[in-house]
Amino acid sequence: MALQDKLKGDNYEKLMALPNPKLHGFVEDAVELCNPDSVFVCTDSDEDIRAVRQMAIDLGEELPLKIEGHTIHFDGFETMAENDQGRDKDGTRYLLPPGMDLGERINSIDRETGLREIRGFLQNSMQGKQMLVRFFCLGPTNSEFSISGVQLTDSAYVAHSEDLLYRAGYEQFKTLGDSPDFFRVLHSAGELKGHVSAHMDKRRIYIDIEEDLVYSVNTQYAGNTVGFKKLCLRLAIRKADREGWLAEHMLLMGAHGPSNRVTYFAGAFPSACGKTSTAMLPGETIVGDDLAYLRKKKAMAYAVNVESGIFGIIRDVNPDDDPVIWDCLTKPGEVIFTNVLMSDGTPYWLGDGRELPEKGVNYSGEWRHGKQDADGTEIPPAHPNARYTIRLEDLANLDERWDDAAGVRLGGIIYGGRDSDTWVPVAQSFDWPHGVITMGAALESESTAATLGAVGVRAFQPMSNLDFVALPLGRYIQNHLDFGQSLDTPPLIFGVNYFQKNREGKYLTGMLDKAVWVKWMELRVHGDVDAVPTPTGLIPKYDDLARLFRDVRGQDYTKGEYVEQFTLRIPESQQKIERIDGIYRTQVTDTPQIVFDVLAQQRQRLTEARKKHGDYVSPFDIAP
């Protein structure tokens, strides 16, 4: 079948203007496989991009809201337990050739078996629909960091989302010539029921790491379909492994210090653990909230934001805690809401601070208070993992260097997760290996609604990247160790915990207290404040935090609060070491020996402190 048969008008010429045989072969194979009625090749032109947005509305994949530019999309829903409103971890697998093993913690399937299955699901999946050919650039255009990508999809909602999330890449693609070095994504929503995927039992997301190619079918949730987010992160991790850099699940932000100083931080947090809210802190500036590429330049670490937008969890976004995002979500401009409640053209979500209407339309259809699903579970007005999609350029606190092709120099790296009983609010590692191992590779987090499955379960989440690592885990950790060792001045490494609780289950810190921890980290990068050495890292001095709470939060900070927050919890800390050590000994076959050595040293420091001070040690008892 000739491509001209499906690419009508100027679409064939637009594709052929990119002189890349691999690209042409990819499109031709997908057209033959998926059998769309027609193909639309989208360039970087405003006209083409507007056409995609209008298509999403015309097809009913998005509904216009009252505020100009705002639309709403609903993903598939059967019950609260069975839906298409989170990343499908079980259905996401690597296609591995014979002899390749990524370890037992990484989902995989034999490559030939997986290809037969998913291509079978894709067969004729676009019949009666239009295929959209989209080009994007991961990272700033014309940068040594950037990677080109092409996605084929039959979902105008997915394509529209990508317009907000990524830099246009058609013109950038021209610079590739005939190079095969680009990422490819093929997605189909499959057969539709109404406007959503009808066969969630056949939802599959397979990553062909040999071909830098992602397949996704029978799903519309953006985390499963917007290929250049976490799906191509897996491909970027392998590319970084080959080329000696790092592809990470990290925010990038500018922390503003004394004398108009800006210090850039990267930060890795599992979903719904404070990553976006950290990047959006009042008084600081955002470079990106989710994905970062890190490279060595001038013997220092530089980073760029892979994306140009935010696909953020909207739960608890309100004018008091998230004023910048709230402003963006309540003024005219291009915003896509997903899986929230719509009533009279207005979106409502959990924790927005407004009184909810008695009824409306949400992901379950017509909704009213007390509505239950087929299992008898009450359906909330908005899904706990409801989202918003916006462009970074619509944010008032965007950092002036957010799109700098040279990247920003990193002063620090932050690791954080949901930890109710062990980790202090903020601590600095002793050195790069100590930080990589005890704060990055040992990261744990209590699960949330951002992924399908039970919530509140403590999960091993090294570098907040376990779901996306496409390498043997030990090798991935060694790459981090090697990267830091290659730098003259590696970034300082910090661990944070915004979810610490007391024994009665009460949170010990406020949502905006993270602003203080960030200011303290910024000062530490420049050596402007001292720290207290503890067995697990360096913590702030009380006097410095008391001053920062007054300056940053306008609040008094008592010695009692300091003691409660920064008491060393030795039994829990030792239990954590045993859990992590056990995982690396039994489930990761290629763990570098230094991991066990550093954990053993921390275990010994904790044992000595326990003998001297008991199980729970006040920071004032540790301070020299």
307 Cβ contact partners less than 8 Å away, ≥ 6 residues apart: 138, 165, 166, 228, 229, 288, 290, 291, 392
Judge whether 42 counts as a catalytic residue: no
Q: At what angle do helices 570-586 and 593-613 cross, to 10 degrees?
A: 160
In this structure, are residues 492 and 537 in contact, taking their beta carbons and an 8 Å threshold? no
Angle at 411 between CA 406 and CA 416, to 5 degrees: 110
What is the widest separation between alpha-carbon atoms in the chain? 80
Q: DSSP class of residue 500? A: -
Q: Which helix (H) or strand (E) holds 11?
A: helix 11-16
The answer to whether 142 touches 214, Cβ cutoff 8 Å, is no
Which of 189, 198, 218, 184 lies closest to 30 in space, CA to CA? 184
By the 8 A CB rule, do 196 and 220 touch?
yes
Residue 106 near residue 196 (C-beta atoms within 8 A): no
What letters, b where the CB count within 10 A reaches 16 and e where it falls short, cover 68-81?
eebbbbbbbbeebe
3-state secondary structure 442-485: CCEEECCCCECCCCCCEEECHHHCHHHCCCCHHHHHHHHHHHHH
Chain centroid to Cα 358, Å, comes to 33
Which residue, among 244, 240, 299, 298, has the nearest Cα to 486 in the 3D structure?
299
Q: Is 39 exposed, middle or buried (0-12, 13-18, 19+ CB in 10 A)?
A: buried
The phi-psi region of residue 302 (left if phi > 0; otherwise alpha if psi is between -120 and 50; otherwise beta) is beta
Is 306 within 8 Å of 250 (Cβ atoms)?
no
426-455 burial, b at 16+ Cβ within 10 Å, e below that, comes to bbbbbebbbbbbbbbbbbbbbbbbbbbeee
Q: Which residue has the tokens 């609010």?
A: 425
Who's near 132: CB < 8 A, 6+ residues apart?
Answer: 39, 40, 42, 52, 55, 152, 153, 154, 155, 156, 159
Q: Would you say 10 and 39 are in contact if contact means Cβ atoms under 8 Å apart?
A: no
**Catalytic residue numbers, as ranges:** 273
